[in-house]
Amino acid sequence: MNYLKLSKEISYALRHSPSEYGLELDDNGSVNLEELLIALKKKEEFKFLEAEDLVKMIETSDKKRHEIVNNKIRALYGHSISTKIQKDAIEPPQYLYHGTARRFIQSIKENGLLPQDRQYVHLSIDIETAIQVGKRRDKKPVILTVKAKLAWENGVGFYKGNDKVWLSDAIKSEYIEFP
């Protein structure tokens, strides 16, 4: 089983296009494991897929993108579907980080950090993680420091993705330190 390919397919289904797979996400973005299996097994490449493969996919992944709880699976972040995934707002650490491309900096200075195509802005717990995120778009990414606690105190929502990824509402540039 190609777990990377499987993970990409499941991220696509659970973050962006559940209806394409005949799936309906519940409020926190979960679907029954069995329903996801049935949907994926219709594809030639996944016809031998078993529940155990989904567990292995999560275990062997470089990032914790998905979670299985009580026979349900969900993506932990990254959603773009129109129905917003419900997340509990929680107090963030003092600083969070955001790795981005040099070409976006002027616009971020003017408009702040926006969710763009996703439901939430994605932030990193540390600089190292932010560098990895930013490198997806620029070989020399820019690392922004977000005054998360201050923004939270002023009413901006923050939410947990996984141990390294935080989510938030839009962040105005007054809460962002540019290098």
Q: Please report, as ranges, the residues that interact with ligand HQG according to CB under 6 A.
A: 63, 65, 78, 100-101, 104, 107-108, 111, 113-114, 116-118, 122, 133, 137, 165
DSSP 30: E
Instruction: Kindly tell me which of 42 and 103 has the beta carbon lying closer to ligand HQG.
Output: 103
Residue 40: what residue type?
A: L
Report in angstroms how near the CB of residue 55 gets to ligand HQG at its nearest: 18
In terms of DSSP H, where are the helices of the chain? 3-11, 33-41, 51-60, 105-111, 127-134, 148-153
Residue 54: what residue type?
A: L
Instruction: Kindly tell me which of 78 and 92 has the beta carbon lying closer to ligand HQG.
Output: 78
Instruction: Kindly tell me which of 56 and 118 has the beta carbon lying closer to ligand HQG.
Output: 118
Instruction: Kindly tell me which of 36 and 76 has the beta carbon lying closer to ligand HQG.
Output: 76
DSSP 134: H
Strands (DSSP E) found in the chain: 30-32, 66-69, 72-75, 95-100, 121-124, 142-147, 158-160, 165-168, 176-177
Instruction: Kindly tell me which of 38 and 138 has the beta carbon lying closer to ligand HQG.
Output: 138
Report in angstroms how near the CB of residue 143 gets to ligand HQG at its nearest: 11
Report in angstroms how near the CB of residue 84 gets to ligand HQG at its nearest: 15
| Tokens read off for 50 | 């078993």
Do the beta carbons of residue 138 and residue 101 sit within 8 Å?
A: yes
Report in angstroms how near the CB of residue 137 gets to ligand HQG at its nearest: 5
Report in angstroms how near the CB of residue 128 gets to ligand HQG at its nearest: 12
